[in-house]
Amino acid sequence: MKISKVLISLIAAEIFCLFINITLGGTSNPLMRTVCAVCTVGILCVLLANTAIRGTQDAMKQERITGQPPRRGASAAAGLLSSVPALASWTVLLISKNSGKFDFYKWHKLINAPFLQVYNLIEPDASVRALSAGEICLMLPLTFIPAAVCLTVSLLTRKGLITAEK
């Protein structure tokens, strides 16, 4: 799994999810926000899973051709890298909350477009002052979803439990 392909998948998911959030999430209805949240998180997971499947299959094919084992660290690094933007954004949000000097919550929502409606369900206000410490802690596990998807799908593909036609 190449790092560039993971980053391209993340960018594609961000753009597509922003579009979905703008069109479907413009309501204050919690049911519609929940449906939109499921759709956008699903889009992120599907795009990253597809990238992980393709990358792992390419690595396995290269292994069969050359006879050399693939670099497992490269796949793990690409998978873990998929959570770096969200984790960095969460860290800046935490600093913003603790310092009180700047308001990063609205930018955090936009940077993490697949989770925008989840964040709106947690705290609909766009100000960092409205966030409690518990709400910020509740947002932390969401940052690891991209890495969990990439690493899990890559492992399952390598074990032969997930296959895809080319």
pLDDT at 166 over 60: no
* Mean pLDDT rounded to a whole number for the chain: 87
Provide the pLDDT confidence category of residue 72 given band limits of 50, 70 and 90.
low
Per-residue burial over 21-30, b if 16 or more Cβ lie within 10 Å, else e, is beebbeeeee
Provide the pLDDT confidence category of residue 1 given band limits of 50, 70 and 90.
low
Helix axes 145-158, 72-81, angle to 10 degrees: 150
Task: Count the neighbouring beta carbons within 10 Å of the beta carbon of residue 13.
Answer: 23
The SS3 call for residue 83 is coil
DSSP 3-state percent helix, strand, coil across the chain (nearest 5): 80, 0, 20
Provide the pLDDT confidence category of residue 66 given band limits of 50, 70 and 90.
confident
Q: Which of 85, 73, 76, 82 is nearest to 111 (CA)?
A: 85
| Mean predicted confidence (pLDDT) in 132-147 | 92
Vertex 114 angle, CA 111 and 115, to 5°: 85
Rg for the chain, CA atoms, rounded: 18
* CA 109 – CA 111 distance, rounded (Å): 6
Task: Count the neighbouring beta carbons within 10 Å of the beta carbon of residue 11.
Answer: 12
Read off the pTM: 0.86
Task: Report pLDDT digits (tens) over 43-57.
Answer: 999 999 998 888 888
Cβ contact 55:5 at 8 Å:
yes
